A and B are shown apart, each in its own frame.
Chain A
């Protein structure tokens, strides 16, 4: 059984990789786009640096690093949340979705396995962002990187984002409209999640929103771990707590929604192709 699961994971990974690799232009552009973003924010942060450094109370120690991590995690969020739901919509249209469910694999496990490629691709993107930033754009990170916090944040962050992708997948299975979840998630995160500016610069009345935006705590902790953002112990503990809570809550919602979606889809024939 264990061998069979490993075999299935490997098959899905190879299949996803071969499909992505067949779109060479798209793959190259996605890497090139990282360079473009790094360059744009390099100049933008240089332009804005003066006004930020004037404020001694600013928790940002490196504006470029702050931006880069923000756009990197936003990019990763989009990939993770939308990848499987886009595939589901595509596979439903050509009829292959039905064929996947007559294979000896539980439907939910199949969806979870399909998330492995986007997780690996996202980690690859994260490394590219950081490496390019360090090598070509003079990104400075603190020498004493808190690896433990970084690994913790990335791990729980991945759980949260994959769980949101399960919600998106549920909507794709039922209504062909799961991709909107990633758009909504990224828009809210961009506005209130501290992606490009700290939440403390936001309208004070909307401050409570950060509690509901998983990317906010993930970003705060990742920036702290890389020495790009200062945080006192109390804020650190609150953020760690929020990252755990978000991952648990979203995992529960994601799991329940995909279970309901499959039940409804099998009953109403939405898996099938006619």
Chain B
């Protein structure tokens, strides 16, 4: 469960959001959208703990073990070690989460298969990948350890239509199966129509409110 109460954040004189409440339970999918620079990414980063809020409380974040169950995709698709291969990169992140080498390799191979990504990419050095391939590697890092909470910031930007469709099916299946909590930032809300249960349109810090969609997945 994610429980954030009255969280506010501003950078200098720029107020991004204030007194925001977010309550998400098992199986909830929150989609966040709004104009550029309104603070969508900052809100995500605040929720996962890489930025601390100015005020308010976050029950979920205070728990150190949260990161064991967190999967995150940022807008930056280059957040890997350039000199290492894709497999070395992904193994590192999984081993840091407590998996041994064999488990990590198995999980990575399985995720490649599930997302139907060309497995020959595994042995390539990360620096030689295209931007689309890098984004796919980010998605594998997010899903390989079977996270309970999935947080994604524009996860499909720069990816082809065919993969986007496939990813949507994968996301839908995995959330049905595991009852994940999903928080996603996207400008393309329609694409996720029928999947999300909560919607947050961030426009101005004073009038952001979460609309709860009575939709069942």
In the complex, B34 has a CB within 8 A of chain A = no
Q: A273, B74: Cβ atoms under 8 Å?
A: yes
In the complex, B113 has a CB within 8 A of chain A = no
Nearest CB of A to B87, in Å: 11
Q: A19, B72: Cβ atoms under 8 Å?
A: no
In the complex, B92 has a CB within 8 A of chain A = yes
Which B residues lie within 8 Å of A10 (CB)? Answer: 95
Bound together, the chains give a CA A273 to CA B48 distance in angstroms of 14
Give the nearest-CB partner of A20 in chain B: B83
Q: A103, B97: Cβ atoms under 8 Å?
A: yes
Q: A272, B68: Cβ atoms under 8 Å?
A: no
**8 Å CB contact of A101 from B41, B49, B88:** B49
Which B residues lie within 8 Å of A226 (CB)? Answer: none
Mark the stretch among A30-38, A90-98, A248-256 that contacts chain B: A90-98
Which B residues lie within 8 Å of A95 (CB)? Answer: 74, 76, 78-79
Give the nearest-CB partner of B9 in chain A: A269
Q: A271, B51: Cβ atoms under 8 Å?
A: yes
Q: B50, A22: Cβ atoms under 8 Å?
A: no
0/1 string, A237-274, CB within 8 A of B gives 1: 00000000000000000000000000000111101111
Nearest CB of B to A187, in Å: 31
Known: A11-B96, A104-B65, A266-B50. A99 touches B74 (CB 8 A): yes
Nearest CB of A to B147, in Å: 10
Nearest CB of A to B126, in Å: 10
Q: B80, A96: Cβ atoms under 8 Å?
A: yes
**8 Å CB contact of B41 from A12, A103, A274:** A274
Nearest CB of A to B212, in Å: 27
Which B residues lie within 8 Å of A268 (CB)? Answer: 11
Known: A266-B52, A272-B45. A15 touches B11 (CB 8 A): no
In the complex, A105 has a CB within 8 A of chain B = yes
In the complex, B84 has a CB within 8 A of chain A = yes
0/1 string, B194-212, CB within 8 A of A gives 1: 0000000000000000000
Q: A94, B50: Cβ atoms under 8 Å?
A: no
0/1 string, A72-103, CB within 8 A of B gives 1: 00000000000000000000001110110111
Which A residues lie within 8 Å of B74 (CB)? Answer: 95, 98-99, 273
**8 Å CB contact of B83 from A3, A19, A104:** A19
In the complex, B93 has a CB within 8 A of chain A = yes
Bound together, the chains give a CA A101 to CA B65 distance in angstroms of 13
6 A-B pairs closest in CB distance:
A95-B76, A11-B95, A104-B67, A22-B83, A95-B79, A266-B52
Between A and B, 28 residue pairs with Cβ closer than 8 Å are A7-B96, A7-B100, A8-B95, A10-B95, A11-B95, A11-B96, A15-B88, A18-B83, A18-B88, A19-B83, A22-B83, A23-B83, A94-B76, A95-B76, A96-B80, A98-B50, A101-B50, A103-B67, A103-B93, A104-B68, A104-B97, A104-B98, A266-B52, A267-B51, A267-B54, A268-B11, A269-B11, A273-B74
